[in-house]
Structure 1
Amino acid sequence: MSETPFHAGLVAVIGRPNVGKSTLINAMVGYKVSIVSARPQTTRHRILGIDSSPDGQIVFVDTPGLHSDGKRAINRYMNRAARGALADVQLCVLVIEAGQWRDEDEAAWQVARDSGLPCVLVINKVDRIRDKGELLPFIATVTQEREFAEVFPVSAEKGVALDDLRRGLLRLLPASEPLYGEDEVTDRSERFLVAELIREQLMRQLGAELPYATTVMIERFADEERMLRISATIFVERDGQKAIVIGAGGSRMRSIGQAARLAIESQFERKVFLELWCKVREAWSDNENALRGFGYE
């Protein structure tokens, strides 16, 4: 009797902002490869999350949320990154929120449809639907005139039905050798992950609009025997924003730094010494050269 073949491939995860794409990928991989917050457009980059199991390997491609605001260079970059993720993948996963189908969901579906790839619909946050009897009519409505290879209601945050999703995705991927080593979880460097963990705290601790005017650059990353020594600069676009990030007597910067340090220590299981500065780079988010300098490729 022949053994079950190993399946592997790349799966692009798309959807409108804030439907839980990064939370889903982190849960599937079992490692925090993408930062999360309650704010939309937290994810800015194309990031791989690698889920290896005895039956196969799913290489998730996390993407910025597709959105209609293309006024600034960074918004155009994020839309390009999301659409570009559909190149060289074998499967597309469209993530939506249970009970909701908005214009941006429809736009994301059209991107998936036009790619010509098989598309799996993942209905996330089903734990927030009190009357589960509402799910079947919702699924029927969404799939009535849209073709999906399979449909999976899940809760990424609660870990509901993720094994079913994993098996379903592997069935749709080709028989293949692993694409990455079984101990690899992402294609991103430690420096990148650290910068993202700092930016996560900016998303969580600052006011409604300010986090979108911030980015982080790692100036020093020294891996010593028992400690990581990290120096990073937070860039903003105006002097008034710098004052808010620093806070009265440096209180906000200390709070951001402490929370980021704890997150980095948890991620890397090492003691961390973290230094933060804040500088102004005017209109960086609408400057293509500045974006490239900050690693938005």
Structure 2
Amino acid sequence: MIRTLLGILALLIAAFGLWFFLVPGPDKLSQLDGLAGGGRGAEQAASGIAFGTHGQRLDVWRPAGATNGPRPVIVFFYGGGWHDGTRQGYAFAGRALAAQGFVVVIPDYRKVPAVRFPAFVADAAEAVRWARDHARDYGGDPARIALMGHSAGAHIAALLALDSRYLIATCADPHVVKAVVGLSGPYDFYPFTTDNAKAAFGAYPDPRETQPISYARADAPPMLLVTSTADTTVKPRNSIALRDRLHALGAPVAFRDYPGLSHEGVVMALSKPFRGTAPVLADSVAFLNARLDGAAAAK
């Protein structure tokens, strides 16, 4: 009986994962997350705040109610192949992390085909500067900022953390980034083989400058690289290659592999309905707590 119920649950999870990404927009997961109680312990502190120089906007999530002292900050970059995604669609991630004691900033950024690399990375750098300048307004600590992202968002987060030129260009000290969590990110994917990568990076004169692995260095901020053996969209070799390069240089790096999860399944595991599929939230929170010295343990 128990095996039958588990089998049915697995089929439902797989079916929802397929529906979630075939039907446009992860907004549906955020809606389901809200219905399942994913917002418990979190509140949206701001919506559609303007930042940067190109009309970008961001949302801010934080722990609900009074908190003791300023909280560590996460700037979360969503995925979508550098051409898709919205900040509203990733409310489930903002709620999940805010409920664990973080102030969470989710910015939009310009996308293909309106722009090409490095425009979206420059937008992300402006979001980090905004977080530094305004964290206190929402109960955050500008001295404890981490970056987190999924897929294309993980590429952006890693590039910001490793190639200091982007943050320097925004007048933000690159040392403002204290830790990075990359979920299913492409870090070493040249030569370009997918249409998304070709559209986003193919016209750039030096392809190596598009690759986070090119900027691996010993003094990189601590990084947690998450992958899954069943990911056929962004192969696990990306995380493994960056992990090995950072490790060889003596940089602090942690690695998690969640066997059986799809590319989408990794970020879906942050949501309340799918949190039981893998400890992505718990492991990310534990890593960030250790590096940022704060926040409550994952529930």
Mark yes or no: TM-score above 0.5.
no
Taking structure 2 as the reference length, what is the TM-score of the superposition?
0.31
Structure with higher Rg: it is 1
Taking structure 1 as the reference length, what is the TM-score of the superposition?
0.31
